[in-house]
Amino acid sequence: MTDFVRPKMTAAPEHAPKMAEVTFRDRIAPHMPILLVPLIAIAGFIAIQNPSSWLTLTVSGLAMGMMIFIMASGLTLVFGLMDVINFGHGAFVSVGAFIGISVLMLLGHMTEAPSLMLNLGAILLAVIGAMLATGLMGWAFEKVIVEPVYGHHLKQILVTMGGLIVVEQLIIVLWGPEEIYILRPEALKGAITFAGAAIEKYRLVAVGVGLVVFLAMRWVLRRTKIGLIVRAGVENGEMVQALGYRLRLVFVGVFIAGSALAGLGGVMWGLYQEVITAHMGNHAMILIFIVVIIGGLGSVEGCFIGALLVGLLQNYIAFIEPKAALISNIALMVTILMWRPMGMIPVVKAK
Amino acid sequence: MSDAILKLEGVYTNIAQYHILQGVDLEVPRGAVTMLLGRNGVGKTTTLRTVIGHWRAHQGKILFDGEDITKMPTPAIARMGLGFVPEDMGIFADLTVEENMVLAAASGPINSARLDWIFAAFPPLKTFWKSDAGTLSGGQKQMLSIARAMVEERKLYLIDEPTKGLAPAIISTMARALKDLKDQGASVLLVEQNFAVAKALGDSANVMDDGRMIWSGQMQELATDAALQERLMGLSLEAH
């Protein structure tokens, strides 16, 4: 556009924004969701009163939260971007776990060696295998099951639920109906002691992986054009298309990435529980839905914060009053929805 | 006329069970501002949305730059060089002004000369470049919406009621920017309820009623004939 000539132009009235004094309350309001995480940690500290137990529980809660986040992040984007409710998301968690654990079992020489590098290498290979498989499966799932029911929530719920059942049964056909018990790789067994608290090594790995996934997603969403398209598409897909972007392709990409992440979450979750079953994904879906809802549908940040809150609260309550642990997450969801009915960080406007 | 950038031939569009467009014929000449006028609810917005492909014509033909786009997907139509400013502005509120503009420049980085021009036309966009678009005022959002269309040179600009609900001072800013676009030789199809703006900008005019085109001619002719306006749109200059 070299021949572009800047025309003469009269300016609109100049706008000089004036800064007003903002009260403390108003200033922290936008940051309230993220502040809830340390607030819950502090509340836990006060309630538990034993620093070493608290530290153990906090790390364990963060690890659990990170894994839920990895499993849930794809679901929140799929809903936000295309208004698709995917009850079959748990299928990718199960399949990811079974593929990943199968790969780990094949790599026995790497997992049984007492070398951290070899162990992590084996997990990495297992994760790659699981993500490739669930990514491919996500692509097929989107084409066969989701595409025909765009725009029909009830049909989506029914048909994706059906897809989940089919996949669960396929897992039973391929791997048998028994649950599979697994041992973590040698160097990740046991715990390290830090400030008098026993911290399971594997949980530290889970926290690390979760942080990396979160930061990578954030970077993609904030710093790349694809990320811009996804964020804009969550808000107004029609306009994104009118700007010339093929949202459908972007959505398929997000669905595949979300499925692959669920597969990664499945491997991590399986190693955390040390047992895998065909129904593990379906069971995880309860936590995943809670996290996606309290985070605000379509928001990756909200999903991350929600997952950490759920993880921490569940661990603290299980220690303080085990019987209350089951209802703690539901109570958290109810409380947050009373405070912010669209979730902590609402992205998708009410339709 | 062979030199039409956009041509609609007998276009019918239904929304649910309603027949909104009932055989619209329209020719938008290249390098001029074509007004689309008419009372509320006669199908002006639907005409624009049918061109960009948000609604589908179930009968008739739409030619853009000589190509049949009637069944083309929206992104492909947009990529052919169509800038669209929807009635609701279509701002991405959670993105910054900058991110909105980067997205609008679909074919590559923003041309800096063009950006300077946009900043000169709409200074608030420069002031709030890094702010979330959702925090802008109504007028500023409208500026952003038009700026997004202007950020790249398009073959045709579809602009739906750019002065809707704006204060007079902002309306003149809009009008000046659109005049600028016109002076560059851009082709524009403009829906506008503000008759003064329409009169100042339009080369030719098309008036719709009840899903059809009821009058086409020079804007000048319509602007000077109060009786014609009264008959076509139920308004007269005195009423404004």
Give the CATH superfamily of B1-81+187-240: P-loop containing nucleotide triphosphate hydrolases (3.40.50.300)
pLDDT in tens, B24-45: 999 999 999 999 999 888 999 9
Contact residues, chain B, for A230 at CB < 8 Å: none
Q: Where are the alpha helices (DSSP H) in B44-193?
A: 44-52, 74-79, 97-104, 112-121, 123-127, 138-150, 168-183
Size of chain B in residues: 240
- ∠ CA A322-A325-A329, nearest 5°, is 170
pLDDT in tens, A106-165: 998 888 888 888 999 999 999 999 999 999 999 999 999 998 998 888 999 999 999 999
Nearest to B54 among A6, A238, A246 (CB): A238
Architecture of the domain whose range is A52-339: Orthogonal Bundle (1.10)
Nearest partner of A228 among B84, B55, B148, B79, judged by Cα: B148
Minimal CA separation from B228 to chain A, in Å: 34
Q: State pTM to two decimals.
A: 0.85
Minimal CA separation from A344 to chain B, in Å: 15
Cα B147 to Cα B84, B104, B151, B156: the distances in Å are: 11, 9, 6, 14
Q: Residues with Cβ < 8 Å from B125, sequence gap 6 or more?
A: B97, B101, B118, B119, B140, B143, B144, B147
Count Cβ atoms below 10 Å from residue B18 Cβ, excluding itself.
9
pLDDT of chain B, 240 residues: tens digit per residue: 458 999 999 999 999 888 999 999 999 999 999 999 998 889 999 999 999 999 999 999 999 999 999 999 999 999 999 999 999 999 999 899 999 999 999 888 999 999 999 999 999 999 999 999 999 999 999 999 999 999 999 999 999 999 988 988 899 999 999 999 999 999 999 999 888 999 999 999 999 999 999 999 999 999 998 888 888 887 544 444
Minimal CA separation from B36 to chain A, in Å: 20
| The pair of three-digit structure tokens given for residue B138, joined into one six-digit string | 């109504």
Which residues on adjacent β-strands are paired with residue A180?
Answer: A276
With both helix axes pointing from N to C terminus, report the angle between A247-273 and A280-295 in degrees, rounded to the nearest 10.
Answer: 120
Domain boundaries, chain A: 52-339
**Chain B: residue whose CA lies nearest to A345:** B94
User: Three-state DSSP class for B236?
Assistant: coil
Minimal CA separation from A221 to chain B, in Å: 11
Kindly determine whether residue B176 and residue A228, on different chains, have CB atoms separated by under 8 Å.
no
User: What is residue A23's DSSP assignment?
Assistant: -
Contact residues, chain B, for A1 at CB < 8 Å: 111, 113-114, 153
**Chain B: residue whose CA lies nearest to A8:** B180
Q: Return d(Cα A348, Cα A337) in angstroms, integer.
A: 15
| Chain B interface test: which of A14, A19, A225, A239 (most B C-beta within 10 Å) | A239
Contact residues, chain B, for A245 at CB < 8 Å: 75, 103, 106
The interface predicted TM-score of the complex, written ipTM, equals 0.91
